[in-house]
Amino acid sequence: MSQARVARTYNQNHVPRKYSRDHRRVSIYVSWSYPAEAARDPLELDNRFSTMTEVRRTTWPAYEAPEWSDPNQFQQGIAGSLELFFQAWSPFQEFGRETTGHVVPIFQRIDQAGFKLPLDERVLADTDTLMIFGLDHNVTNQDAAPEEIEAIREFLSREGTCLILGPHHEVGIDDDPQVRNMEYKHHRDPLVPRQQRFAQYVRSLMKGLGIPVENRYGLRPLRDPVTRQLAPLSPSRDLDTRGWLNGVMTLNFHMHMPHYEVTGQNQKVHVLARQPIDTSKPHPFTEAGNNEFNIVLWMPPEGNRAGDVLFVDSTIFSTLFGIDESLQTFWQNICA
């Protein structure tokens, strides 16, 4: 495994940004191993991303233009679908650049060329807001090393920092295939297998930091059956003293969102917003009496931790799943 001497963003070396009191420096860290994800066997039914061919077949004819379907222009295996993530994150990167005056780099734990970049000063030294997208499949065995946990702890000791954690969904953990099928029929995304478990890296990081949150399930948000408009959030405005959700009514629609469960009786984690669930199809979570899931959580500064910790899924920053004024307002609140 090669290791870069400097931090690598997507296909280039990172140029450190100068600190400015009035302009935040936002960075994205994708916790996957790109080679491990791209090399997953398409014959395996579970715990992998779709191939581009599967995406094209399922969403036909959305990706039948030559720039997507021609194998001379776009990769047709799993690597192709991974590249869709980068394309869909680009609008947020541009929004962040326009808002803050700084570029928004995307770092990968292990990138396309095999360069490994653990969380250290190469990523953290010129970052004020760090977003960690927990899109690593658990089967690829990505874990935060003790040095990385300590680096994040030191990062959060700086005034004005913010750590945004986005562990993705946890689908199909039950051994009963009928329960897994119930989950599948609930979210209704043919591209998601009956088991797809994400974010071992972020979960190990949270454990090391003593953060009592777990990503659970893959739940379908409620939409109006006629207008297809996403149901508004159920916010806890009194807890949102930082104003993360000021002016925000909805985020965006994604068929299988994680529920961020607060484990134990912990008053340090504020549930800022819940999302109504589409209950037209059963799910073990709704069968237990729940009709909303936790979508935005916040841990204000406390003790030696001077920075904020926020929980929101990575799909909220992807235009694959739509964009509107309310979502851009949330982006603005993050970047301000």
Asked if residue 2 is part of any domain, the answer here is no
Asked if residue 228 is part of any domain, the answer here is yes
pLDDT higher than threshold 80 for residue 16? yes
> For the chain, how many structural domains are there in total?
1
What are the residues facing 239 on neighbouring strands? Answer: none
The C-alpha atoms of residue 237 and residue 140 are separated, in whole angstroms, by: 39
pLDDT higher than threshold 60 for residue 1? no
> pLDDT digit string (tens) for 63-95?
999 999 999 999 999 999 999 999 999 999 999
Apex CA 197: angle with CA 294 and CA 52, to 5°? 110
Higher pLDDT, 264 or 268: 268
- Number of CB atoms found within 10 A of residue 85's CB: 19
Predicted pLDDT at 15:
85
Q: Determine whether 223 is exposed, middle or buried from the number of CB atoms within 10 Å of its CB (0-12, 13-18, 19+).
A: middle
**Residue from 192, 203, 181 nearest 260 by CA:** 203
pTM of the model: 0.94
Range of the structural domain that residue 200 is part of: 8-335
Asked if residue 3 is part of any domain, the answer here is no
Asked if residue 291 is part of any domain, the answer here is yes
